[in-house]
Amino acid sequence: MCRNVAVIGVGSSKYGRRTDVSFMELAWEAYKEALDNSGVSPGDIEYVVYTSVGGYSPEGSPAGILNEYLELNPKGTSRIEAACTSGSAGIFFAYNLIKSGYADIVLVLGIEKMMESSTPQTLELLARLGNYFWEVRDYGITFPGYYALFMNRYMAVYNASEEDFCKVAVKNHYYGARNPKAQYRREISLEDCINSRYIARPIKLFDCSPITDGSAAAILVGEEYASKYSDSPIWIKGIASASASALLTGREDYLSIPSAYEAAKKAYKMAGVDDPLKYIDVAEVHDCFTIAEVMAYEDLQFAERGKGIELIREEQTYIGGKIPVNLSGGLKSKGHPIGATGVGMIAELVKQLRGEVERDRQAPIKNGCALAHNVGGIGQYAYITILSLK
């Protein structure tokens, strides 16, 4: 069977430090909203995909626990992990379950409760990574350090400044302040970012996304079920993944995330997109650090190499610009609950395409097309998903 696949319902918890709920209760928030948003009943769901990295959360193997708590037994279930792209990998898995005819209605639920992990637990996780990632083991480099290398290189080659990258943070906090589910619901000034302390020079505190508790859910169906449940199904027109070396010593340059570029090429071909600026109305990109958003502009062909920084300088990624980006607040302001992030991007874009988000962060929908860009680690994984109203 080669049938089309639609998203008919989405949900999200509030992101942030969620000490008010348990791991299971956090999952329930997104699940209940997705059910209400879709018109699907629990009995209609045929398969459940949970996405969680696990190393940061209190539950290392959440699928069985959550299936029982959400009263979804005896439905089939899996836990999908692909670092920060776990959520998008779960969407990809569900899409193919439906595309193949194995299932008709699939729930994807991403969750992470990162605030419960202590510093020693996190360091232990990094130590385990160091068994292979010798750059971590031998040089003590962490994710801010990796992206600091990218930022330093970009500034040297393209004459960008730390202030330029802070403009990404200012934009994302501007929209995050208008998102009731964002972790940081406040605007920041350019001076706030510039004057924040260095984490890994030139990356400063306000260049970094936070640690986050959160959940997000999406319900996918085969085309013959879409109109039964929804007057506004959102179709998955393109979805693709790619990989790259986990070590920077295995990269040709530090000016791109090659896996994101390759995944975008495949997704565009699948969706019939020859010029993304002519098709895409709004995008959610993986701004784990401000430099990551600028590189995404170029990897996604929103700008030529070295010209991505001009998009943020000229405010072309705000509403009213060439391509509005991260109107949710992005990872930077909305938050980054690792296993939920990719599903949360889909939830945001479905609501954007339907015109269901808050008015002052609603993109103008002219072409009916949106894009999610999700990167894992420093680009070991990448997923691009293209959504459409028709």
Which residues are annotated as catalytic? 84, 336
The residue type of 171 is K
Distance CA 321, CA 10 (A): 27
Residue whose tokens read 């699907």: 40
Other Cβ atoms closer than 10 A to 154: 24
Taking CA 176 as the corner, what is the angle to CA 184 and CA 310, rounded to the nearest 5 degrees? 120
Whether the CB-CB separation of 347 and 385 falls below 8 Å is answered with: no
DSSP 3-state assignment of 238? strand
**Nearest CA to 281 among 387, 151, 378, 202?**
387
Whether the CB-CB separation of 51 and 86 falls below 8 Å is answered with: yes
Residue 219 per-residue DSSP state? E
Helix (H) or strand (E) holding 381: strand 381-388
Q: How far apart are the first and last CA of the chain?
A: 20
Distance CA 225, CA 6 (A): 9
Q: Which residues, including other chains, have CB under 8 Å from residue 55's CB and lie 6 or more apart?
A: 117, 121, 125
